[in-house]
Amino acid sequence: MSSIPPTVPELAPPLAAGGLPAPAFSPLYQQIKGLLLQSLESGEWKPGESIPSEMDLAARFRVSQGTVRKAIDELASENLLVRRQGKGTFVATHAEQHVQYRFLKLMPDRGDADTEGPAERRIIDCRSSRASAEVARALGLRSGESVIQARRVLAFRGVPTILEDLWLPGVTFKGLTAQQMSDYPGPTYAMLELEFGVRMVRADEKIRAVLPDAEQSTLLQVTPATPLLSVVRTSYTYNDVPMELRRGLYRTDTHHYRNELS
């Protein structure tokens, strides 16, 4: 049984310069949000599982139900929790249909991701290697540390559309194989949740237009003069811990990059 987090009154106040207690400016619901995040990070509630009711959480943390509700609302807006009418609140998972394309913004020019269907994956390589200085910096590792390096092509309706290179921390994802990546029927992020207990909760991306080299153009079946969209993504689990570096080359002759801003 997991240990019960401290109630809000037991939280130790931060220290300011000189060792004196600093003023606590964090609203109460933010403190509850932090405690809920601790439970999510520790695996007390796993992806897809329900969390306790607002009433139970209010009793656990000795705060009002409204305070708990506001904390849960923020976590739901950040796609960490999912409210289901009449059923309760659940830990979000990449296995759910409505979040499967949360980090994949390439959409078909005709129809949508649902009508197009899932991508056909071809794993070209998946092996253990040593992190370069650039990869180590992105993943918060030391240069030369073990990483899992994979390359794959995603095709839609038989047309190779995305070429991806992935790097994952070797210690965390030890044992990941090409067969495992190829056989899992759902999204890769869902497989990483299920097999390794790591959930990607947010990502940063850098996008630019590039031309492919000879090998890239062959894998994507385009000419070296074809402009491609380069998307470099760093994905993070709870507490902003980097867990994946992904470099993708996207064809945009039949697809477009779509992002919603709010």
150-176 residue pLDDT tens: 999 999 889 999 999 999 999 999 999
Shortest CA distance to 252 belongs to which of 224, 226, 232? 226
143 in the same domain as 243: yes
Checking if the pLDDT of 95 tops 70, the result is: no
In a domain, 215, yes or no: yes
Residue 18: CATH number of its domain: 1.10.10.10
213 in the same domain as 104: yes
State the pTM of this model. 0.75
pLDDT tens-digit series, residues 21-67:
444 567 898 999 999 988 988 888 888 889 999 999 999 999 999 99
Checking if the pLDDT of 149 tops 90, the result is: yes
CB-based contacts of 184, cutoff 8 Å, min separation 6:
190, 191
The better pLDDT of the pair 255, 172 is held by 172
The better pLDDT of the pair 2, 165 is held by 165
129 in the same domain as 199: yes
- Mean pLDDT estimate for the chain: 84
Domain span at residue 166?
A: 99-257
In a domain, 110, yes or no: yes
In a domain, 250, yes or no: yes
230 in the same domain as 132: yes
Q: Which of 91, 116, 132 is the last residue of a domain?
A: 91
* Number of other CB atoms surrounding residue 140 within 10 Å: 14
217 in the same domain as 145: yes
Residue 102: the pLDDT is: 52
Q: What share of the chain is helix, strand, coil (3-state, %, to 5)?
A: 30, 30, 40
Q: Which of 67, 91, 115 is the last residue of a domain?
A: 91
- Residue 195's H or E segment, with its range, is helix 188-196
Rounded Cα distance between 117 and 114, Å, is: 5
In a domain, 153, yes or no: yes
199 in the same domain as 238: yes
Q: Structurally, how many domains does the chain consist of?
A: 2
Given the structure tokens 């079946």, which residue do they identify?
221
Rg (the chain; Cα; Å): 21
Residue 226: the pLDDT is: 95
236 in the same domain as 125: yes
201 in the same domain as 105: yes
pLDDT tens-digit series, residues 189-245:
889 988 898 988 888 999 999 999 999 999 999 999 999 999 999 999 988 999 999
Q: Which of 33, 57, 91 is the last residue of a domain?
A: 91
Residue 148: the pLDDT is: 97
142 in the same domain as 71: no
Residue 245: CATH number of its domain: 3.40.1410.10
* Sign of the CA dihedral running 11, 14, 15, 16: negative
Checking if the pLDDT of 11 tops 50, the result is: no
138 in the same domain as 24: no
In a domain, 17, yes or no: yes
Tokens of 212: 């492919």
Checking if the pLDDT of 13 tops 50, the result is: no
